[in-house]
Amino acid sequence: MSFLESINGNGYEVMTALVIANVSAQVLKTILFAIQHRSADLRMLFTTGGMPSSHSSSVVAMATTVALLEGLSSTITAIAISVAVVVMYDSAGVRRAAGKQAAVLNQIVSELLSEQHKLSGAKLKELLGHSPKEVIAGALLGFGVSYGLRYLIETSIV
């Protein structure tokens, strides 16, 4: 029995699509960051924020695979889509706002430290959330991974 046969039509297919989408997004994010900044930073493989959103790609791959397996009218598909929407909204909303606030606080601390104040120089993480474009790109990636995996399963098991 092949790997594709063993994951066909069960929870393993959902998890496989989710993991492939997440890893793909993180690798793409690292490559795009290296191109944009003209230097490689492997820490991008494990960071939040950036293009494309690995959160979006993961939850959309999960929801799409559930929909493909269970049908659009199933309760579990409705739950999966709801979770995906909440995660993407949070990613582009709350977490993005927190990242902007961290940037402002880092600037304030930097300016205060320049005047010889005795404050901690620790910087807050600014790359927390995603722009709507990053969320949409991640969602499209997740959708593609899910359909691609389903296609591979269906064409290899005939």
**101-131 residue pLDDT tens:** 666 666 666 666 665 655 555 554 555 566 7
The pLDDT score that the predictor gives to residue 156 is 83
Sign of the CA dihedral running 50, 135, 130, 19: negative
Mean pLDDT of 73-83: 96
- Does the pLDDT of residue 30 top 80, yes or no? yes
The C-alpha atoms of residue 149 and residue 12 are separated, in whole angstroms, by 12
pLDDT: which is higher, 156 or 130: 156
Query: What DSSP character marks residue 8?
Result: T
What percentage of the chain has pLDDT greater than the value 70?
A: 74
The C-alpha atoms of residue 69 and residue 55 are separated, in whole angstroms, by 21
- Does the pLDDT of residue 57 top 90, yes or no? yes
pTM: 0.75
